[in-house]
Structure 1
């Protein structure tokens, strides 16, 4: 198939993709609340005459595009949910809901996947096989997420992906660049809560207490030694205490304090070792200070590890579209797409979406986050071409 045909179809849908992205941005919905979002996706799939199934993980939608004859199956995934953030950017399509915002680009992901669906539906006689459009709810609902629930509820029971791809707008990359690695792309993301309980009392009489604040100070400092002294220094990992709750007044030694945070890793063995040391250090320090330690530890998303074969093909597709594919470092941010990659081969890809005025670029999950909409037709073209290239690659192997 000539790439000019694909470019022509992308050009036809380009303004519609922008409109869809802005609609989603104006009406964001949080994890497991994607009611109107799901309905709008279904409306567009009907308009594009793409068959679909619904009901997976309540709000999930599966679009199904059949090529001219049977063949392999490629799945393309977009996440649907927004974040509980009050948007601080003033533009015509800002969020209309209080404390709800698409601050992670999921609005763009859905819009581009609908655009991809339109393009591939027009070009379905140009390839063999099936392309699945997977609209996934609750990606931000860590540590559970929506990916595993989709699979548990049978979204792939009839059409089983031979390869699955996900694409994420990336504000650190300029428009026209594609970020992809043959191995790790994103980190494993675990969460914890430490509750220390001791004996409180008057601030002037610490000898009558077991001071949970002092204990917590030692715990926080000592937990940082896990990365620096218990793990391979060449393996990336992070232990972060992000929230502390406790105390009543300046003249009272508290009897309880709670600390919350997250742990980020790539390698499963490092993840296991870090968790082991986390429990040992916390418990032993609490015992030394005669304080009780209760730990809630949640194993979150696993690391997002690409399949080298399909990551390489993604790079070839990008280069074929004259897109740059610079060397990139992985991110320790968590991503629910990792659960798909535990079950199926595939790749997770970053789409350059940096603002032209880079000094105004805010990071993901920030109230001032924006994307460069010039990335939308690029992401649409890339993902559509990647699906076709993957199906052609399977044909060459057979």
Structure 2
């Protein structure tokens, strides 16, 4: 259930979320957002650090020594024109919070406020990490924050993060131990041929024909080279070539993404792209170049901590409303934090189909049921209190 102390701040929580929603910013250019977050944390009396350009970290030190828990929220919006007709509609042309990060930021700020009132009870520390540039990867904001020491001084023992999720109804919490979100990589293939007149193809080396064959051949990687019990995606999203209908061009470019939940699968896909491209280039008498960009890592939730979060969620929303969700092939750079320290990234349902609040993430009509903000805030608070209140920060035997 939602505690009275969280419920008593509902008006402020909604106002915070709507303010961030009206003034969205993208990437690392979160100057207004970061300043507001910094001022809020400073007004609470927390130690505040800035890093990764517009990242903000607030540190709450408990009255006794113990573990350090990191709670993370991403703050950035998307380059998207909002089409919702609501009083808090985005005031920035072509920029919108269409993924819930405004809510993530508001929830973590309010959790910091509530937990500050419990400072004397805490045996350990809490790091409130507000991250820029989750949407724009690479480079993303997690790795620069790690490189600048966000996990040190004091050293983080456990990390937790929330994503508001419109595939779940408000009132539900989604969990998945183990691999939950995919490694999301990019590839770019340039095929170089010999251009000429479209009426004289025998005098040319056509990269367009090679590209057409290659796009189809690449689909056999998932269907024929990956164990069907494994998860993998290869999607070509961009093809670019030519300047006129009757000219065979010199170049054709293919760009796409690959997704996987296993590092071996990830490397197999990369190797097969190279092998197939090489073979088709020889068959079509064209040259090629391949560029691979590794994106987010596989997001892996710690098994024991997942059970712990399940127990917390049971208390907050009731056992029947805690859902073990399937993995998603979306990427999330929270994965880099969880590579370094054990933790859990979980979902808080934010849809309300009866109210028509059910649009998918990254839609210009995306919105959330703001009651989900109370649940997310309560989850943050309860996780910290259960780990750091009058104990050493270790998981109990029951968990």
TM-score grouping bracket, smaller chain normalisation: over 0.9
Are the aligned partners of 2:163 and 2:347 in contact in 1 as well (CA < 8 Å)? yes
Is 2:365 the partner of 1:368?
Answer: yes
Distance 1:85 1:96 in 2: 12
Counterpart in the other structure of 1:201:
196
Stretch moving more, 272-281 or 43-52: 43-52
Which of structure 1's runs of 4+ aligned residues deviate more than 3 A? 357-360, 392-398
Is 2:209 the partner of 1:214?
Answer: yes
Unaligned regions of 5+ residues in structure 1, if any?
none
CA shift at 1:387, angstroms? 1.7
Distance 1:287 1:358 in 2: 57
Q: TM (normalized to structure 1)? A: 0.95
5 Å-filtered alignment, 1:27-176, equals 27-54=23-50, 56-176=51-171
In the alignment of these two chains, the number of paired residues is: 393
Q: 1:157 to 1:397 in 2, by over 3 A?
A: closer
Distance 2:129 2:282 in 1: 49
Instruction: Give the strand-richer structure, 1 or 2.
Output: 2
Distance 2:138 2:279 in 1: 27
CA shift at 1:143, angstroms? 2.7
Counterpart in the other structure of 2:259:
264
Distance 2:347 2:86 in 1: 25
CA RMSD, 1 decimal:
1.7
Distance 1:40 1:94 in 2: 19
CA shift at 1:12, angstroms? 2.2
Counterpart in the other structure of 1:340:
337
Is 2:2 the partner of 1:9?
Answer: no
Alpha-carbon deviations, 1:204-248, whole Å to 9, x = none? 222222221111111111111011111111010000101112221
Find the residue that maps to 1:361 and give its secondary structure.
coil
Alpha-carbon deviations, 1:96-152, whole Å to 9, x = none? 112211111111100000011011011222332111100111112213211111111
Are the aligned partners of 2:57 and 2:130 in contact in 1 as well (CA < 8 Å)? yes
Are the aligned partners of 1:356 and 1:372 in contact in 2 as well (CA < 8 Å)? no
Q: 1:31 to 1:163 in 2, by over 3 A?
A: same
Counterpart in the other structure of 1:19:
15
Are the aligned partners of 1:355 and 1:370 in contact in 2 as well (CA < 8 Å)? no
Counterpart among 349, 368, 373 of residue 352 in structure 1: 349
CA shift at 1:202, angstroms? 2.2
Distance 1:116 1:123 in 2: 11
Unaligned regions of 5+ residues in structure 2, if any?
none
Q: TM (normalized to structure 2)? A: 0.94
Distance 2:83 2:200 in 1: 47
Are the aligned partners of 2:351 and 2:357 in contact in 1 as well (CA < 8 Å)? no
CA shift at 1:391, angstroms? 2.5
Q: 1:251 to 1:150 in 2, by over 3 A?
A: same
Find the residue that maps to 2:245 and give its secondary structure.
coil
Q: 1:366 to 1:277 in 2, by over 3 A?
A: same
Alpha-carbon deviations, 1:272-324, whole Å to 9, x = none? 11111111111221121011111111011111000101111111000012341
Q: 1:345 to 1:59 in 2, by over 3 A?
A: same
